[in-house]
A and B are shown apart, each in its own frame.
Chain A
Amino acid sequence: MVTRSQVAVIALLTGACLPLQADAGDIRPVFDEEVARFSSLARGPRAELRAEAAEGFGLMRHHAGEESLLPLVRDSDADVRSVAIEALGHCGMRRGIAALAGVAATGSREERRLAHIALERMTGTSFPEDQPGAYAAWLAADGWDAKEDRLLAAIEGRDPGARMRALVALRFVGSGRAEDRLLARAGGQPRFNGEEFRHAVRALERIGSAKALPFLAGLATAFPDTAWALGQIGGPGADAALQHALARFGSRRVDATVNLDRLASTNCAVHIPMLIRSFGFAIFRSDTDELHRPPHAAQRAAANLILRSGESQRVVDLVLKEVEGTRKDEETPERWRGVLAAMREELKAGFWRNDGRTEADPLAALPHIIRDKAFVPRLRALLRHPAVIVRIYAAECLGALEANEAIPDMLAAIREPYPFADEVQQVSGKHREMSQGVRWKGYLCMALGRLGGEDARVALEVLAADPAVPRDVRFGAVTGLSFIGSKKSLPVLRKAAGTDIVWTIRGAAADAAREIEFREAADVAMAKHE
Chain B
Amino acid sequence: MNEEGPSPAERQGRREAGIQKTSAPLRLRGRPCVAKARACLPWAICSLGLCVVAGYAQAPAPGPPSPAPPNPLLPLYQAAVKGRDLGAAVRLARSGKDAEPLLRQGLKHPGPEAALFACAIHEHPAPALAPELRELLGSWNQVAGYWAAKALGQMKDAGSVPALAAQLASQPNGYWELSRGRQKWLFNQQGAQQFKQPELAPQGMPNIRVAYASLLALGDIGGPEAVATLRRALQSDQYLVRCAAARALGQVRSPEDLAVLRGLAARDPALVVRDAAAEAASKIDGTWSPPVAEPPPMPPALVFIKAKNRSESNLGFRDSYFFPKTPWYGWGENLFLLSPVAPDGAARNLTALTNGAVQGPEVSFDAKRILFAMRRDFAKEGFHIFEMNADGSGLRQLTSGQCNDVDPQYLPDGRIAFSSDRAGYQEYYHQERSRAIYVMNPDGSGIQQITFNPNQDYEPLALSDGRIVYGSYRFYAQDGSPGPLPGDNFMQRIETVLRTVLPDGSEDAPFYGAGRGSYYTPMRPSPIALQYSGWHRRGFHIGVSISQPRQLPDGDIVCVTPAGLTVIDRALVPFDCERPLFPEVLNLAGGEEVYIHNHDDMNPVGRYTTPYPAGGDWVFVSHAPWHRLGNDAYGIHLFNLRTRESRPIYDDPALSDIEPVPLAPRPQPAVRRSARESSGATNGLIYCNSVFNSDLPYDRGAARFVRVLGAEFQPASINANASFRSRLLGTAPLEADGSFYFRVPADTPLRFELLNANEDVLVHETEFHYIRGGETKGCVGCHEPPRRTPPNARPIAMAHPPANALPKRGDLIFQGRPEHTYNLIFRE
Residues of A with Cβ closer than 8 Å to B?
13, 15, 30-31, 34, 48-49, 51-53, 55-56, 59-62, 79, 82, 86, 109-110, 113-114, 117, 120-121, 168, 225, 228, 252-255, 258, 281-288, 290-294, 296-298, 352-353, 355-356, 421-431, 434-440, 442-443, 467, 470-472, 475-476, 479, 501-505, 507-508, 518
Name the CB-closest residue of B to A252.
B820
B423 A424 Cβ-Cβ under 8 A: no
Q: A121-B757, A168-B758 are in contact. Are A290 and B725 (CB under 8 A)?
A: yes
Interface pair B720/A296, CB less than 8 Å apart: no
**Chain B positions 356-388 with a Cβ under 8 Å from a chain A Cβ:** 375, 378-382
Is the Cβ of B718 less than 8 Å from the Cβ of A283? yes
B426 interfacial by beta-carbon distance below 8 Å: yes
Minimum distance in angstroms from A153 CB to a CB of chain B: 22
**Is B402 a contact partner of A471 (Cβ separation < 8 A)?**
yes
**B323, B422, B720, B815: which has the most chain A beta carbons within 10 Å?**
B720
A296–B403 touching, CB < 8 Å: no
Interchain CB contact under 8 A, B402 and A467:
yes
A109 touches B800 (CB 8 A): yes
- CB of B823 within 8 A of CB of A296, answer yes
Bound state CA distance, A508 and B808, in angstroms?
15
- State in angstroms the CA–CA spacing of A503 and B402 once bound together: 12
Interface centre among B378, B715, B718, B731 (most CB of A within 10 A): B718
Name 7 A/B residue pairs within 8 A (Cβ), A-sorted.
Answer: A52-B810, A254-B826, A286-B722, A421-B381, A428-B431, A507-B713, A508-B715
A430 lies within 8 A of B381 (CB): no
A298 to B819, CA, bound (A): 10
A202 (CB) vs chain B CBs: closest residue: B827
A-contacting 9-mer, from B163-171, B324-332, B573-581, B635-643:
B324-332
Tell me, rounded to whole Å, the shortest Cβ–Cβ distance linking A120 to chain B.
6
B458 at the interface (CB under 8 A from A): no
Query: Is B652 an interface residue when CB atoms closer than 8 A count as contact?
Result: no
A439 to B713, CA, bound (A): 17
Q: Which of A59, A427, A505 touches B824 (beta carbons < 8 Å)?
A: A59
Alpha-carbon distance A21/B824, docked complex (angstroms): 23
Binary interface profile of B, 146-160, with partner A (CB < 8 Å = 1, else 0)?
000000000000000
B326:A472 contact, CB within 8 angstroms: no
Complex Cα spacing A34 to B720, Å: 33
A464 to B697 Cα, complex, angstroms: 51
Q: Which single residue of chain A is at the shortest CB-CB distance from B718?
A: A438
Q: Which of A356, A423, A439, A472 contacts B403 (CB 8 A)?
A: A423
A288 touches B723 (CB 8 A): yes
**B-side contacts of A470, CB under 8 Å:** 402
Determine if B704 is an interface residue (Cβ-Cβ < 8 Å).
yes
Shortest Cβ distance from A14 into chain B, in angstroms?
9
What is the number of residues of chain B that contact chain A, defined by CB distance less than 8 Å? Answer: 66
Let me know if B808 and A505 touch, CB within 8 A: no
Contact across chains for B323 and A290 when beta carbons are under 8 A apart: no
Which of A13, A34, A168, A502 touches B825 (beta carbons < 8 Å)? A34
Least CB distance, A89 to chain B, in whole angstroms? 9
List A contacts of B751 (CB < 8 A): none
- Given A79-B808, A293-B813, 13 new contacts (CB under 8 A): A34-B824, A60-B825, A120-B757, A288-B717, A294-B823, A297-B821, A424-B326, A426-B319, A428-B432, A430-B720, A503-B449, A505-B715, A508-B715
Q: Are A296 and B433 in contact (CB under 8 A)?
A: no
Contact among A30, A49, A56, A283 for B719, CB-based, below 8 A: A283
| Partner among A121, A254, A294, A423 whose Cβ is within 8 Å of the Cβ of B404 | A423
**In the complex, chain B residues whose CB is within 8 Å of the CB of A505:** 424, 715
Tell me if A286 and B480 are in contact (CB < 8 A): yes
Q: What 0/1 readout, one digit per residue, does chain B (689-718) give for beta carbons within 8 Å of chain A?
A: 000000000000000110000000101111
A59–B812 CB distance below 8 A: yes
A350 to B714 Cα, complex, angstroms: 24
Closest A residue to B384 by beta carbon equals A423
A442 and B401 in contact, given A30-B825, A51-B808, A110-B733 (Cβ under 8 angstroms): no
Nearest CB of A to B420, in Å: 10
Could you tell me the dominant secondary structure of chain B's interface residues? loop
A298 near B821 with CB under 8 A, answer yes
Contacts known (A120-B757, A471-B402, A501-B422); A426 close to B432, Cβ less than 8 A:
yes
Bound Cα distance from A430 to B812, whole angstroms:
29
Please give me the residue from chain A that is nearest to B704 by CB atom.
Answer: A117
Pair A110/B732 contact, Cβ less than 8 Å:
yes
> Hey, which chain B residues are within 8 Å of A13, CB to CB?
809
Cβ of B811 under 8 Å from chain A: yes
- Nearest A residue to B447, CB-CB: A501
User: In the complex where A286-B480, A424-B381 touch, is A55 in contact with B424 (Cβ < 8 A)?
Assistant: no
Task: Decide yes or no whether B288 CB sits under 8 A from chain A.
Answer: no
Q: Is the CB of B719 within 8 A of A475?
A: no
What residue of chain B has the Cβ atom nearest to residue A472's Cβ?
B716
Which residue of B is nearest A227, CB measured?
Answer: B827
Docked Cα-Cα span, A349 to B495, in Å, equals 36
The answer for the CA separation of A422 and B401 in the assembled complex, in Å, is 11
Cβ–Cβ < 8 Å partners of B426 in chain A: 427-428
Please give, as numbers and ranges, the residues of chain B lying within 8 Å of A288 by CB-CB distance.
Answer: 717, 719, 722-723, 815
Q: Is the Cβ of A353 less than 8 Å from the Cβ of B718?
A: yes
Q: Interface readout for B451-486 with A: 1 if CB under 8 Å, 0 if not?
A: 000000000000000000000000000001000000
Complex alpha-carbon distance, A83 and B30, angstroms: 96
Given contacts A61-B827, A423-B403, A424-B378, contact A431 B720 (CB under 8 A): yes
Q: How many Å from the CB of B696 to the closest CB on chain A? A: 22
CA of A225 to CA of B826 in the docked complex: distance in angstroms?
11
- Are A15 and B823 in contact (CB-based, < 8 A)? yes
Q: How far is the CA of A79 from the CA of B743 in the complex (A)?
A: 12
List residues 771-828 of chain B with CB under 8 A from any CB of chain A.
800-801, 803-804, 808-813, 815, 819-827
Does B38 make an interface contact (CB < 8 A)?
no
Taking the complex as formed, is B721 at the interface, i.e. its CB lies under 8 A from any CB of chain A?
Answer: yes
List the B side residues contacting A113 at CB < 8 Å.
733
B311 contacts the other chain (Cβ, under 8 Å)? no
Q: Are B319 and A501 in contact (CB under 8 A)?
A: no
Asked whether B339 is an interface residue with its Cβ less than 8 Å from the other chain, the reply is no
CB-based contact B716/A443 at 8 Å: yes
Known contacts A79-B804, A298-B821, A443-B716; is-contact A86 B430 (Cβ 8 Å): no
Asked whether, in the complex, the Cβ of B716 is within 8 Å of the Cβ of A442, the reply is yes
Q: Which residues of A contact B650 (CB under 8 A)?
A: none
Chain B residues with CB below 8 A from A258, complex form: 825
User: CA separation between A506 and B715, bound complex, in Å?
Assistant: 11
Give CA–CA (A114, B382) in the complex, Å: 53
Does B758 lie within 8 Å of A425, measured CB to CB?
Answer: no
Measured between alpha carbons, how far is A258 from B825 in the docked complex, in Å? 8
By Cβ-Cβ distance, the 4 closest A-B pairs, closest first, are A423-B382, A52-B810, A502-B424, A504-B424
Name the residue among A34, A255, A423, A467 with the largest chain B CB count within 10 angstroms: A423
Contacts A437-B325, A502-B403; A48 near B432 (Cβ below 8 A): no
What per-residue 1/0 map shows which CB atoms of B340-365 lie under 8 Å from chain A? Answer: 00000000000000000000000000
A436-B824 Cα distance, complex, nearest whole Å: 34
List residues of chain B with CB within 8 A of the CB of A82: 803-804
Q: Are B800 and A110 neighbours in the complex by a CB distance under 8 Å?
A: yes
B residues in contact with A60, CB < 8 Å? 824-827
Structural contact, B718 and A292, CB atoms closer than 8 A: no
A283–B773 Cα gap in the complex (Å)? 35
**Cβ proximity bits B312-335 to A, threshold 8 Å, 1 near / 0 not:** 000000011001111100000000
Contacting residue for A52 out of B326, B801, B809, CB 8 A: B809
- Of A48, A430, A435, A505, chain B has the most CB atoms within 10 Å of the CB of A430
Find A436's partner among B319, B325, B720 (CB 8 Å cutoff).
B325
Using a CB-CB cutoff of 8 Å, which residues 404-434 of chain B contact chain A? Answer: 404, 422-426, 430-433
Cα-based distance from A121 to B756 in the complex (angstroms): 11
Name the distance in Å between A277's Cβ and chain B's nearest Cβ: 15
* A56 proximity list for chain B (CB < 8 A): 810, 824
B423 and A502 contacting across the interface, CB-CB below 8 Å: yes
B716/A476 in contact, CB under 8 A: yes
User: Which of A60, A284, A290, A353 has the most chain B CB within a 10 Å cutoff?
Assistant: A290
Q: Would you call B402 and A296 a contact (CB within 8 A)?
A: no
